[in-house]
């Protein structure tokens, strides 16, 4: 358990650092290509073309295979670190053992910088120690292999082990701290990408259970944005355009529309739209807008239970981020519109009969006067396109006749009748004002009443 715990702790960082280490795999393959070329340049010095072909080429090919099939995996990292040392041993051999210590150190530094993983430092150290032990001993026995520049094998091997142990310890210690910094950087990037993409819910848990001040600051900013979204009184949603999916909604959205419907992957095909073509037309309008904004467009939406609601919809498109995102706000104006219609009716209709009132008459007269002034269209009170006073009197007579019809009361059975008089003011030429027309019609009405009622003048 004591031995396994450090490996388990290190493995906890692997998933978050995977993008970082995939890039490192590519760099290491590129470095292996470079080292293979170096070995090719050194091959003529001691005629080591066979070693170059049997050691260097397969090592490079295998690194390409692992990069393609298992990028970012621990096995790939361990092989890349070992491959670096394999090329190091090959170069040491090709140069006659003159640079074994310095070049091995260079290899460990490269592995440290690329992977920031003490396990790769350990693997690279084991490979170079085995290389020095096995091939160095073979050199001491007379094999044509060059590891050390002297035949005193055990002395040189012991010196190299003693020389490398502090260096390896330092590399492992630095790898742990550099790994932590790499984790912090990647974690901050992930948090920032979540914020940019509108995903303010999912949280990445620290493998160590502790957070650095930088991560805490970004997480705090994310929490504040989430709080702001929650307290917004207007329903809001964040939509990812490339997948046409909602990635986040606030509490007001759930109250107004309802919870997200996971059965419909595409937001444009969601039953929220009373008209299926609404979303596509909104997106076209949004893309054509110069500021990528549409503001307070009235649309009819449906709640999750199918209830239609009239809404004011606003949306802004963010094309400067990847993936492209849109922020959508929806305000239910159903009650407000009903209240406005009620106020409109109260302002222009009689409360008892629901017939147009005097204010409505005034507006109709002003419209008729404007038509008269602009197009010389004659009228009489509110009879538009009335050619003469006689035509107006004919219509007024029909009203008087209809009103005078007897009415039988349903309770007592009595028959009653009422009468009416009318005054006509026709506008056919000259100037006209609402006050003058009403005065003429009122004077004509009183003349009809004085003449015996139930008359028209």
Distance CA 457, CA 449 (A): 9
When computed from its CA atoms, the radius of gyration of the chain, rounded to whole angstroms, is 45
* CB distance 457 to 394 below 8 Å: no
H or E stretch at 293:
strand 293-302
Output DSSP code: residue 250: -
Q: Which of 390, 373, 375 is nearest to 426 (CA)?
A: 390
Task: Tell me phi and psi for residue 409, to 5 degrees.
Answer: -75, 135
Q: What's the pLDDT score for residue 253?
A: 84
* CB distance 294 to 314 below 8 Å: yes
Q: Collect the ranges in the chain with pLDDT lower than 50.
A: 1-3, 202, 205, 207
Q: What is residue 343's three-state secondary structure? A: helix
Q: In what order do the strands lie in the sheet with 379-380?
A: 383-384, 379-380, 426-427
Distance CA 348, CA 435 (A): 19
Output DSSP code: residue 132: I
Only one residue has tokens 């056919």, namely: 428
Query: Bridge-partner residues for 302, per DSSP?
Result: 308
Distance CA 150, CA 130 (A): 18
Q: What's the pLDDT score for residue 57?
A: 95
Please enumerate, as own/partner, the contacts of 198-202 that have beta carbons within 8 Å and a separation of 24 or more.
198/238, 198/239, 198/240, 198/247, 198/248, 198/325, 198/327, 199/238, 199/247, 199/248, 200/225, 200/226, 200/229, 200/248, 201/226, 201/248
Whole-structure pTM value: 0.46
| Helical segments of 47-73, H only | 49-51, 57-69
- For residue 302, what are the CA distances in angstroms to 77, 88, 255, 299, 342? 53, 69, 13, 10, 23
Q: Which of 78, 73, 79, 101 is nearest to 89 (CA)?
A: 101
Angle 315-318-322 (CA atoms, 0-180°, nearest 5)? 140
């Amino acid at each position: 358990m004591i031995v396994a715990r450090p490996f388990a702790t290190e493995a906890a960082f692997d998933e978050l650092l995977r993008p970082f280490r995939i890039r490192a795999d590519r760099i290491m393959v590129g470095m292996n290509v470079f080292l293979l070329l170096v070995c090719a340049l050194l091959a003529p010095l001691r005629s080591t073309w066979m070693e170059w072909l049997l050691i260097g080429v397969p090592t490079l090919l295998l690194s390409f295979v692992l990069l393609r099939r298992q990028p970012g995996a621990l096995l790939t990292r361990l092989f890349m670190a070992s491959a670096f040392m394999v090329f190091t041993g090959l170069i040491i051999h090709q140069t006659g053992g003159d640079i074994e210590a310095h070049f091995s150190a260079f290899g460990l530094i490269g592995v440290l910088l690329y992977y920031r993983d003490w396990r790769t430092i350990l693997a690279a150290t084991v490979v170079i120690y085995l290389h020095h032990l096995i091939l160095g001993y073979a050199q001491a026995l007379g094999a044509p292999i060059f590891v050390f520049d002297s035949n005193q094998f055990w002395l040189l091997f012991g010196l190299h082990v003693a020389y490398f142990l502090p260096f390896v310890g330092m590399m492992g210690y630095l790898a742990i701290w550099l790994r932590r910094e790499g984790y912090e950087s990647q974690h901050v990037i992930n948090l920032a990408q979540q914020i940019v993409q509108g995903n303010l819910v999912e949280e990445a848990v620290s493998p160590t259970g502790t957070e650095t001040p930088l991560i805490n600051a970004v997480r705090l900013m994310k929490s504040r944005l989430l709080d702001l979204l929650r307290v917004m009184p207007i329903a809001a949603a964040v939509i990812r355009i490339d997948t046409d999916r909602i990635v986040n909604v606030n509490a007001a959205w759930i109250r107004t529309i309802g919870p997200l419907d996971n059965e419909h992957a595409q937001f444009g095909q969601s039953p929220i739209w009373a008209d299926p073509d609404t979303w596509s037309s909104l997106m076209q309008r949004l893309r054509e807008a110069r500021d990528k904004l549409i503001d307070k467009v009235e649309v009819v939406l449906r709640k999750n239970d199918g209830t239609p609601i009239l809404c004011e919809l606003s949306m802004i498109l963010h094309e400067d981020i990847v993936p492209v995102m849109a922020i959508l706000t929806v305000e239910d104006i159903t009650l407000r519109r009903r209240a406005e219609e009620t106020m409109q009716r109260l302002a222009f209709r009689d409360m008892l009969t629901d017939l147009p009132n005097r204010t409505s008459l005034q507006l109709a007269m002003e419209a008729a006067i404007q038509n008269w002034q602009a197009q010389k269209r004659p009228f009489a009170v509110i009879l538009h396109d009335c050619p003469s006073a006689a035509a107006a009197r004919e219509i007024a007579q029909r009203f008087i006749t209809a009103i005078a019809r007897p009415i039988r009361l349903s309770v007592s059975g009595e028959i009653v009748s009422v009468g009416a008089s009318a005054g006509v003011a026709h506008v056919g030429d000259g100037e006209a004002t609402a006050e003058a027309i009403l005065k003429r019609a009122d004077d004509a009405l009183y003349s009809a009443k004085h003449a015996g009622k139930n008359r028209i003048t």
